Structure 1
Amino acid sequence: MEPRLRLQSNWGRHALKLSSYSSTRRFVDNGGENATDSGIAGSGEYDIARNFKLTADGSFERLFENRASIDTNTQTQNPIKYTDSTVRTGAEFTVNRLTAALDFGWQKLNYSDGVAGGLIVDQDFRDRRILTGAARLDYELSPGYQLLLRASYDDRNYVLDTDSPQFNPATDLDRDSHGYEIEGGFEFALTRLLYGNVRVGYLTQNYQSGAIDTVNGITFGADLLWNVTSLTSARLTVDRRVVDTATTVSAGRLVTQYGLGVDHELLRNLIISADGQFARLRFNGLNRTDTETLAQLSVRYLMNEYLSLVLTAAREARNSPINFIDYRRNTVSLNLKLAL
């Protein structure tokens, strides 16, 4: 069950959005896996002038970690619970063909301890606060064609660091780090057939501890949509980023992810979708690279303007040099969705 509520303004100027959701999972044979994710979010936009606006958004979520996540502890009696609090603010200014934007963000992740075999499984080492700043420049060469320049910075501060009385230098890692990313690219819209963007740049993540290697290298990305026909569209996504880890022997990993999807309108009320994903996860400081794959096929039947029925079959897999990290999961689901 997954009820959602969204309220959105329709003013001529300015904008305000509020939303909330709840997602409940219940298991017939294993009640310990039952979980309910929930969250609230809000965002606003204030138009100072036609070419100048301020934005702000925030959210708070109570979540349970997916058992299939590479970061979760699968030995705990119940899924790991955590909260995710986020606040962002920004400004955007346009002069002729040039658009400039600045964004600043704050995020706090707080994990609850788990229990396995009657023993506490400590998760405090994962608690952290992340400060981010980003600048963006877009220059319109001609209608439908833009040059892109992106620069971002982040500072990741863990509660358990060398200043914490609970920190044990023999067993704990000082995971504090800061990093930046610079990307340039091109955004285009070839009529209604093909549009999106491609990007390339450089990223680095420097760790405060001299015992942890710096992560750096070329970064690249793409978001493309190709309307093959009036009934068929194809989607391509590419992304590379540095992600914090939950393993006690590595502080981060470089994740490169590729995604490909196809949607086809078989009938006006019957849509077939096929999606595939492939990701390479290279762990910092370890001779370890994992791969994750996802293949999914879904059929959506629009019963009327309010009701839709979705049948989905999916296969997930992870391959790792560490045997107990490997997993395979096949799922089939049938969902009835109501939209008001």
Structure 2
Amino acid sequence: MAPPRAKYSIAMVFGPLALSAPGVAFGQDSSGADVGGFRVSLALDVDAYLDDNVYAQRDGGVTDVYVRTSPKLNVKKDTSRYKFNLGGAVTRFDYAERTRENRWDRNLNAGLELEPIHDTFVRGRTSYSFSHEDRGDPNNDASSVSPTPYGLWNSELSLSRELGRLKMNLDGSLQKYNYRDTARNDGGSINNGDRDRTTKALRSRLQYQFSPGYSVVLRGEWTKIDYVTDQDDFGIQRDSTTWRGTAGLYVAITNLVTGEVFAGYQTRSYRSGALRRFSSPVFGAALVWSAAPGTKVRIAADRRIEETALNAAKNYVITTLEVAADREFGKRLSASLGGRIGRNDFLGLATESLSDIARKDTLYSLDATVRYKLPRNMAVGLSYALMRRNSAQSSLDFNRNKLNLSLSWRM
């Protein structure tokens, strides 16, 4: 198995708070056309990339140009009794020279929101996506001929209730991962079936406003992961149960600052007696600051336990911090600038805390984008992204630069 690649995302902070799908947000107001009582919207994104390190390697970085094309369809119904959303997207990657990187990704999603009684909402969502792991993913095997494909079924159900100053949320989710085997450069095959798993989760949230613009927030989360195979290719039984609890402060100071900061504790136990229980503090934030008219600054942080299929590592803990700023210059021109830092702490089989880990990787990222709106619901954009990884094992270090020219259309 190849060395792990650093990975993190702001979605780990915002993702659990929203019922959304890639490219299509549940309940989001959008342009479109009325067809038979439904609101139908279409979108097309075409991106041309220059990537100077396609395989995210330390030495001998391979440069290539590729085009990413993604048409999207969204059908929406919004009434006083319910909201319904159905969407889908297909994404094609075409490389100029490294044609084995060519691939199709796709997703389908559906959502329903009901308000059976006043201030009580029931929301459900289900989706299926077929995707490929990025070459920089922690679990990527560098010896594979092409990116690893996998399917993901995701179903979520939530109940929310407001009673004056008190807001209550309870939601559950079920995810099923199915990985396909990939060919190896030497002519062999990589078995990815030992990564297939089912993840069940229950999450609760209580928010009480004790003063205008200020609320205390309590969260609890239970996650159970069951792998299809009893042991992976390295003889490790990876089934686990995680408990996570946090307390935080939610602020909504007029239009100046909104969001939440929190801290707490998490612990994971394993079905296998050979794997030691792991515990660590957790913390995070998801804040939006309206620094000036047309300018927003976003701050996000989180710490979570993630899965890995690597030998001698039972999991890894990902700690992230991201700061991004968006600025609008009139009605047509906008720009954004963001920076991220993340650290992956890989847990050895006997690791019990972050004071004793098998390996550390740190990833730095910087990106900048300029976007200009054209007539007829079109827009063009130019962006640059820099990614750098520093590892305790210097052979895993890499730098990666991407330049992107984009064209988008919405109906």
TM-score, L = length of structure 1:
0.95
Alpha-carbon offset, residue 123 of structure 1: 0.8
Residue of structure 1 in register with 2:341 after alignment: 278
1:39 Cα deviation (Å)? 0.2
How far is the alpha carbon of 1:93 from its aligned partner?
2.0
Q: Which moved more, 1:213-222 or 1:123-132?
A: 213-222
Shift in alpha-carbon separation, 1:102–1:231, aligned structure 2, 3 A: closer
Distance 1:224 1:59, change over 3 A: same
Aligned to 1:233: 296
Distance in structure 2 (CA, Å) of the matches to 1:231 and 1:53:
32
Measure, in 2, the Cα distance between the counterparts of 1:113 and 1:320.
28
Higher deviation after alignment, 323-332 or 298-307:
323-332
**Corresponding residue to 1:114 among 175, 178, 182:** 182
1:27 aligns with one of 95, 100, 103: 95
**Equivalent position to 1:311, from 364, 368, 382:** 382
Q: Which residue among 110, 113, 120 is the counterpart of 1:42?
A: 110
Which residue in the other structure is 1:131 paired with? Answer: 200
Pairing of 1:153-172 with structure 2 (within 5 A)? 153-161=222-230, 171-172=234-235
Q: Does 1:254 align with 2:322?
A: no
User: Contact conserved, 1:215 with 1:254, CA < 8 A, in 2?
Assistant: no
Q: 1:171-209: per-residue Cα shift (whole Å, max 9, x none)?
A: 321000001100111111111111111111111111122
Query: What is the CA deviation profile of residues 265-310 of structure 1, one whole-angstrom value per residue up to 9, with x for unaligned ones?
Result: 2343111110111101111114201111110010001113510101
Displacement of 1:38 after TM fit? 0.5
Asked if residue 222 in structure 1 is aligned to residue 285 in structure 2, the reply is yes
Q: Distance in 2 between matches of 1:175 and 1:131?
A: 15
Instruction: Give 1:119 shift.
Output: 0.3
Amino acid at match of 1:161: D
Deviation per residue, 1:31-71 (Å, 9 max, x gap): 10001111001111111101222111111000011111121
Q: Partner of 1:208 in structure 2? A: 271
Aligned partner of residue 291 in structure 2, secondary structure: coil
The match for 1:186 is: 249
**Are 1:322 and 2:393 counterparts?**
yes
Q: Give 1:221's aligned amino acid.
A: G
1:176 aligns to 2:239 (yes or no): yes
Which protein has greater RCO, CA pairs closer than 8 Å, 6+ apart? 2
* Secondary structure at the counterpart of residue 9 of structure 1: strand
In structure 2, the partner of 1:5 is 73
Mapped contact 1:299–1:310 kept (Cα < 8 A): yes
**How many angstroms apart in 1 are the aligned matches of 2:365 and 2:179?**
27
Partner of 1:293: 364
Q: What is the total number of aligned residue pairs between the two structures?
A: 334
Give the Cα–Cα distance (whole angstroms) in 2 for the partners of residues 280 and 37 of structure 1: 28
Which of 113, 119, 122 does residue 51 from structure 1 map onto? Answer: 119
Structure 2 partner of 1:75: 143
Describe the shift of the 1:324–1:35 C-alpha distance in structure 2 as closer, same or farther (beyond 3 A).
farther
Supply the distance in 1 between the matched residues of 2:277 and 2:168 (Cα, whole angstroms). Answer: 30
- Alpha-carbon shift at residue 142 of structure 1 (Å): 3.6
SS in 2 for 1:2: strand
Q: Which amino acid is the alignment partner of residue 201 of structure 1?
A: G
Give the fraction of aligned pairs with identical amino acids, expressed as a percent: 27
5+ residue gaps, structure 2: 1-68, 349-356
Consecutive unaligned residues of structure 1, counting only runs of 5 or more, are none
Whole-angstrom distance in 2 between the partners of 1:132 and 1:328: 36
Q: Give 1:140's match in structure 2, choosing from 191, 209, 225.
A: 209
Q: Which amino acid aligns with 1:2?
A: S
> How high is the TM-score relative to the length of structure 2?
0.79
Distance in 2, matches of 1:14 and 1:230, equals 35
Deviation readout 1:111-153 (Å, 9 max, x if unpaired): 1011111101111111100010111111122443221111010
Aligned counterpart, 1:242: 305
Measured in 1, the distance between the counterparts of 2:312 and 2:72 equals 39
- Report the RMSD for the aligned CA atoms in angstroms: 1.4
Q: Is the 8 A contact 2:313 2:358 kept in 1?
A: no
Is residue 315–residue 330 contact of structure 1 (8 Å, CA) maintained in 2? yes
For the pair 1:333 / 2:411, whether they are aligned, the reply is no
Conserved? CA contact 1:138–1:149, under 8 Å: yes
Counterpart in 1 of 2:168? 100
Letter of the 1:45 counterpart: E
- What secondary structure sits across from 1:125 in the alignment? helix
- Residues 72 and 246 in structure 1, CA contact (< 8 A), matched pair in contact too: no
CA contact (8 A) 2:128 2:152 kept: yes
Aligned to 2:221: 152
The answer on whether the counterparts of 1:264 and 1:272 sit within 8 Å (CA) in structure 2 is yes
* Residues 213 and 284, structure 1, Cα contact 8 Å, conserved in 2: no
